[in-house]
């Protein structure tokens, strides 16, 4: 007889449906009454598919007094108390009117969701326009029920975000401006009707100041980064093990792993989101999809607009390594800016590709949350070099097999084929140094009037050589790191150790690789460059913090634009590999 398990509902995260159909519901109900303690107007930002809509539907059931849906949950006792008061609820999902082709269509689509709420409360929708109709709806529902109203607005920023995703960052400036005006006029009615409102709870992916929510509601409480609500959405480790226990056991048996091994692998793939720098959370969408399929895949990333993020990386010449352990001011996390003008790290943070890994006073450290996000973003980066996504995936699997067996020649061969597929124009970027005259002028400006032309010229030649070498190594390190990340490895660039900074530390399973890259400037310099890299590893004792690391020096030919030699040491034995 097959075991009865609670239902994994991927497509319909509605509280009422989950409870009525025995779906998995991670109990967050204890947070619901706490919202009102923070004020009448509450805002919470979370990445897409992170539980915002489920939270809104849970609040709807809570204030509507659906105690039948809360049996056995944390808030049931409170709802059973004579002191508990139900409230009429107006619920607006702003993703429904998104993708409107004009401001007029957006207004009409907004009126449709207002009509639905009017029918729900058996009142007639009135008013000369969509914004006035919103105000009248709030007031009429309040009069009909004799109580202040609860307003729930889900995905308030969806009409603007959908424009960016549709236009792939080539914004229709006029439509964007018109959309903002429509939404600003709409949200301002919340302030106008504030005396009729018990609670307004608003969710979104980010904090857009030009949408009217934050400029109009000056008493709006933003709980997005508050420690008290750090685990409001998403799953903690304890919640994962408690609510998904039967699925963990079943999946472990199916994949032939111990429970501990499986939990560690799930943690690496899907845990790591944080909104206070302390509490780590699993992505709900990916977690549910994993237990449904029993496969480790990039579920959350593949459910969004991949071309949108990929184009952003390309258009801003971004690499994946530059955002690791990135320190930013708290404003980047609390107010990342408008969608068309935000910083690169602000964009990736609000899109969910970066998360808060640590907080120190007003300084926030951003990093990639987990393997799913790292590998997916790395694939986007590589696709911008005209590499096919399927080819990247196949190469990633090959790299993973080589890394697992410490097959360094195989790893180097796979990376060599990957580099061979990169467009020549992208390779040539690594071979361009600043013009000598520009460097010479910069040296003269920095040194002042005492510097002669001959001295400036000599220094500029030396500096040009250094910049060329460093630029080449940096380009190839970024590409190799992205490939290793796409393969599922942990790759840390420019890691500091006590005597210096190594190019790449790569961890795959129980094996640690210490990798140095060197540019071979001459046709016959492959072996010499590889030897120089290994000598640097040895001289600076790189990898001594790891047990039995594999030491790897890779030489990349500037003319060949590819790996030309590899020197590695494993278990005390050194092996040289030279490529044609």
Asked whether 271 and 282 are in contact (CB, 8 A), the reply is yes
pLDDT at residue 463 greater than cutoff 90: no
pLDDT in tens, 30-83: 999 999 999 999 999 999 889 999 999 999 999 999 999 999 999 999 999 999
Residues 72 and 125 in one domain: yes
> Is 262 or 339 the better-scoring residue by pLDDT?
262
CA atoms within 13 A on the CB side of 334: 14
pLDDT in tens, 289-317: 999 999 998 888 777 667 778 888 887 77
Residues 357 and 254 in one domain: yes
Measured between alpha carbons, how far is 486 from 301 in angstroms, rounded to an integer?
A: 13
Q: Is residue 379 part of a domain?
A: yes
- Per-residue pLDDT at 497: 78
> Is 132 or 470 the better-scoring residue by pLDDT?
132
- Per-residue pLDDT at 537: 92
Measured between alpha carbons, how far is 450 from 108 in angstroms, rounded to an integer?
A: 71
What are the CA-CA distances from residue 539 to residues 251, 498, 531, 552 (Å)?
47, 12, 12, 14
User: What confidence tier does 1 reach under pLDDT thresholds 50, 70, 90?
Assistant: very low
pLDDT at residue 369 greater than cutoff 70: yes
Measured between alpha carbons, how far is 563 from 580 in angstroms, rounded to an integer?
A: 9
Residues 377 and 401 in one domain: no
Measured between alpha carbons, how far is 464 from 59 in angstroms, rounded to an integer?
A: 62
- Per-residue pLDDT at 317: 79
Output the six-digit token pair for 490.
Answer: 């942990």
- Per-residue pLDDT at 335: 72
- Per-residue pLDDT at 465: 44
Residues 362 and 472 in one domain: no
Do β-strands 511-520 and 500-508 pair in parallel, antiparallel, or remain unpaired? Answer: antiparallel
Return mean pLDDT, the chain: 85
What are the phi and psi torsion angles at 510 (to 5°)? Answer: -100, 5
Output the six-digit token pair for 464.
Answer: 């040009």
User: What confidence tier does 506 reach under pLDDT thresholds 50, 70, 90?
Assistant: very high
Measured between alpha carbons, how far is 464 from 455 in angstroms, rounded to an integer?
A: 14
Residues 205 and 155 in one domain: yes
By mean pLDDT, which of 195-199, 410-414, 417-421 is the weakest? Answer: 417-421
Closest CA to 32 of 68, 88, 91, 76: 76
Residues 289 and 180 in one domain: no
Output the six-digit token pair for 206.
Answer: 């980010």
Q: What is the CATH number of the domain that holds 135?
A: 3.40.50
Helix, strand or coil for residue 562?
strand
Residues 223 and 93 in one domain: yes
- Per-residue pLDDT at 437: 47
Which H/E stretch holds residue 508?
strand 500-508
Q: Is residue 73 part of a domain?
A: yes
DSSP secondary structure, 324-383, as one string = TTEEEEHHHHH----TTT--HHHHHHHTTSSEEEEEETTEEEEE--SHHHHHHHHHHHHH
What percent of the chain has pLDDT above 90? Answer: 53
Output the six-digit token pair for 249.
Answer: 């056991």
Sheet with 355-360, strands from edge to edge, namely: 326-329, 363-367, 355-360
Q: How far apart are the first and last CA of the chain?
A: 61
Asked whether 130 and 107 are in contact (CB, 8 A), the reply is yes
Domain final residue pick, 322, 349, 384? 384
pLDDT at residue 445 greater than cutoff 80: no
Q: Is residue 543 part of a domain?
A: yes
Residues 147 and 164 in one domain: yes
Measured between alpha carbons, how far is 555 from 541 in angstroms, rounded to an integer?
A: 20
Q: Is residue 1 part of a domain?
A: no
- Per-residue pLDDT at 514: 94
Q: Is residue 102 part of a domain?
A: yes
Domain final residue pick, 194, 229, 264? 229
Residues 433 and 346 in one domain: no
For the segment 463-471, the average pLDDT, to the nearest whole number, is 43
Closest CA to 358 of 281, 283, 275, 282: 275
Neighbours of 260 (CB within 10 A): 9
User: What confidence tier does 435 reach under pLDDT thresholds 50, 70, 90?
Assistant: very low
Q: Is residue 8 part of a domain?
A: no
pLDDT at residue 443 greater than cutoff 60: no
State the residue for tokens 């696709």.
383
Residues 282 and 206 in one domain: no
For the segment 160-188, the average pLDDT, to the nearest whole number, is 77
> Is 471 or 560 the better-scoring residue by pLDDT?
560
pLDDT at residue 425 greater than cutoff 90: no
- Per-residue pLDDT at 339: 65
**Domain hosting residue 175, numbered range:** 15-229
Domain final residue pick, 229, 250, 272? 229
Rg of the chain over all Cα atoms, to the nearest angstrom: 28
Residues 281 and 223 in one domain: no
- Per-residue pLDDT at 280: 97
Q: Is residue 456 part of a domain?
A: yes
pLDDT in tens, 67-126: 999 999 999 999 999 999 999 999 999 988 777 788 899 999 999 999 999 999 999 999
- Per-residue pLDDT at 300: 87
- Per-residue pLDDT at 471: 53
pLDDT at residue 207 greater than cutoff 70: yes
- Per-residue pLDDT at 424: 58
For the segment 348-373, the average pLDDT, to the nearest whole number, is 90
Domain count, the chain: 3
pLDDT at residue 459 greater than cutoff 60: no
Closest CA to 535 of 559, 521, 512, 555: 555
Q: Residue 59, by phi and psi: left (phi above 0), alpha (psi -120 to 50) or beta?
A: alpha
Q: Is residue 137 part of a domain?
A: yes
User: What confidence tier does 211 reach under pLDDT thresholds 50, 70, 90?
Assistant: low
For the segment 498-505, the average pLDDT, to the nearest whole number, is 85
Output the six-digit token pair for 179.
Answer: 């959309």
Measured between alpha carbons, how far is 551 from 538 in angstroms, rounded to an integer?
A: 9
Residues 307 and 160 in one domain: no
């Amino acid at each position: 007889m097959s075991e009865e398990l609670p239902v994994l509902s991927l497509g319909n995260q509605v509280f009422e449906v989950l409870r009525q159909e025995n779906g998995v519901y991670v109990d967050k109900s204890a947070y619901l009454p706490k919202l009102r303690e923070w004020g009448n107007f509450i805002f919470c930002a979370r990445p897409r598919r992170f539980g915002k809509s489920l939270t809104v539907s849970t609040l709807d059931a809570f204030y509507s007094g659906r105690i039948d849906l809360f049996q056995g949950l944390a808030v049931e006792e409170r709802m059973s108390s004579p002191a508990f008061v139900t409230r009429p609820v107006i619920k607006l999902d702003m993703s429904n009117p998104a993708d409107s082709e004009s401001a007029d269509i957006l207004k009409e689509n907004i009126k449709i969701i207002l009509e639905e709420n009017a029918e729900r409360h058996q009142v007639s929708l009135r008013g000369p326009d969509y914004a006035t109709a919103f105000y009248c709806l709030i007031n009429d529902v309040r009069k009909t029920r004799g109580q202040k109203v609860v307003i729930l607005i889900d995905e308030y920023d969806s009409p603007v975000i959908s424009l960016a995703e549709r236009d792939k960052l080539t914004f229709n400036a006029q439509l964007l401006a018109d959309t903002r005006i429509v939404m600003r006029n709409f949200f301002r009615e919340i302030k106008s009707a504030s005396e009729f409102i018990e609670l307004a709870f608003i969710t979104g992916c980010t904090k857009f100041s030009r949408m009217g929510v934050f400029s109009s509601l000056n008493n709006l409480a933003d709980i997005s980064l508050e420690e008290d609500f750090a685990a409001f959405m998403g799953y903690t480790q304890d919640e994962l093990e408690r609510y998904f226990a039967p699925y963990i056991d079943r999946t472990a048996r199916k994949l032939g792993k111990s429970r501990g091994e499986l939990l560690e692998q799930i943690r690496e793939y899907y845990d790591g989101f944080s909104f206070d720098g302390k509490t780590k959370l699993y992505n709900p969408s990916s977690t549910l999809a994993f237990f449904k399929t029993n496969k480790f895949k990039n579920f959350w990333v593949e459910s969004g607009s991949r071309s949108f993020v990929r184009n952003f990386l390309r258009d801003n010449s971004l690499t994946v390594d530059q955002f690791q352990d990135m320190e930013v001011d708290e404003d980047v996390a609390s107010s990342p800016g408008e969608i068309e003008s935000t910083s690169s790290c602000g964009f990736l943070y609000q899109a969910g590709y970066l998360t808060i890994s640590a907080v120190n006073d007003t300084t926030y450290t951003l990093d990639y949350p987990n393997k799913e996000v790292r590998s997916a973003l790395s694939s986007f980066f590589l696709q911008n070099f005209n590499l096919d996504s399927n080819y990247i995936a196949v190469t990633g699997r090959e790299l993973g097999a080589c890394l697992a067996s410490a097959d360094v020649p195989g790893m180097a061969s796979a990376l060599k084929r990957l580099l061979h597929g990169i467009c020549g124009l992208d390779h040539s970027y690594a071979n361009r140094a600043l013009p000598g005259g520009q460097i010479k002028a910069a040296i003269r400006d920095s040194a002042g009037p005492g510097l002669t032309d001959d001295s400036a010229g000599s220094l500029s030649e030396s500096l040009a050589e250094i910049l060329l070498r460093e630029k080449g190594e940096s380009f190839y390190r970024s590409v190799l790191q992205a490939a290793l990340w796409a393969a599922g490895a942990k790759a840390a660039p420019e890691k500091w150790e006590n005597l210096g900074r190594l190019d790449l530390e790569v961890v795959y399973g129980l094996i640690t690789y210490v990798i140095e890259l060197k540019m071979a400037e001459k046709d016959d310099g492959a072996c010499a460059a590889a030897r120089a890299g290994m000598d640097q590893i040895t001289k600076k004792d790189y990898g001594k913090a790891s047990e039995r690391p594999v030491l790897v020096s890779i030489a990349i030919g500037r003319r060949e634009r590819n790996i030309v030699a590899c020197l590695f040491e494993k278990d005390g034995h050194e092996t040289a590999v030279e490529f044609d």
